[in-house]
Amino acid sequence: MKRPIVFLILMCSIIFSNSSIAFGSGNDKIPILMYHHLKKSLNNNVVISPDNFENQIKTLKEAGYNSISIQQLFDYLNENKLLPQNPVLITFDDGYLSNYELAYPILKKYNMHAEIFVIVSQILENNEIKSNTNEIPKMTWEQLREMRDTFTIQSHTWNSHNKLVLGNGKLSGAVYGPSYIKGTLETKKMYEERVISDFIRSKEVIKAKLGYEPIAISYPFGIVSNEAIKLAEAAGFKLGFVINNKSIVKDDNPFTLSRITVNGNDTGIELLEKIKNS
């Protein structure tokens, strides 16, 4: 009888030791990193070279960080599901072709997951013609489908990644509030219909193209209002992201989750320090 008892004790010790390294305290901080575009030999606040990007990802991996998905984050925030130790959420905005050509092989090399918030109207099929050839090239739906093993795609609106003049004369993000459209100030109803139709359309197209429905939106320029949050929730989103350059905790508003802007000039060690101080 001793062997079964010893085996049971051993199994229990393994289970409890594994659960002790899981991440789940309400006070634990989760860094959410925000990238945009990669370009060789260029590093600034929104662009990073592939060499520097690899150095950052390699450093995160060697420091014991485990990349998570937005679905995992949602499950942690809403269903108390545990996350791996030292979780980090890696995100990209806009949907640049460089994410496919340069970031994808690096993330795959280090087995790190990431999310891309795409401006849905700017993602086309291979045989479609882009209307604006002066902008930085974006990925195609075929490329997004190819990257399923590493990326999940979320919404950066259908076509509201621009700024408009509000009723008070100030320039703000297009989803913020009633704005001047072709010289005429929208009514509250017109604003709500414009924004919610944009949000819903972005979700529907991603689902039609990729086979799953996005659960999160990053607001253009990180600008959001209480009205826009209500519209995002009404459209069916479960999480929303802004840019406050701090890590999140479990009690944060799920529709104003902060991200940390990663500077292309940051070394891997400097990025770790930035995360530590966030």
d(CA 276, CA 265) in angstroms, rounded, equals: 17
Instruction: Report if pTM > 0.75.
Output: yes
257: CB partners within 8 A, 6+ apart? 32, 239, 240, 241, 242, 248
* Residue 184 β-bridge partners: 181
The domains located in the chain, with CATH, are 28-276 (3.20.20.370)
Task: From 205, 48, 220, select the one nearest 123 (Cα to Cα).
Answer: 205
Amino acid code (one letter) for 178: P
Instruction: Please list the pLDDT of the chain residue by residue as tens digits (278 residues).
Output: 445 444 444 444 434 334 335 676 666 999 999 999 999 999 999 999 999 999 999 999 999 999 999 999 999 999 999 999 999 999 999 999 999 999 999 999 999 999 999 999 999 988 676 666 678 999 999 999 999 999 999 999 999 999 999 999 999 999 999 999 999 999 999 999 999 999 999 999 999 999 999 999 999 999 999 999 999 999 999 999 999 999 999 999 999 999 999 999 999 999 999 999 99
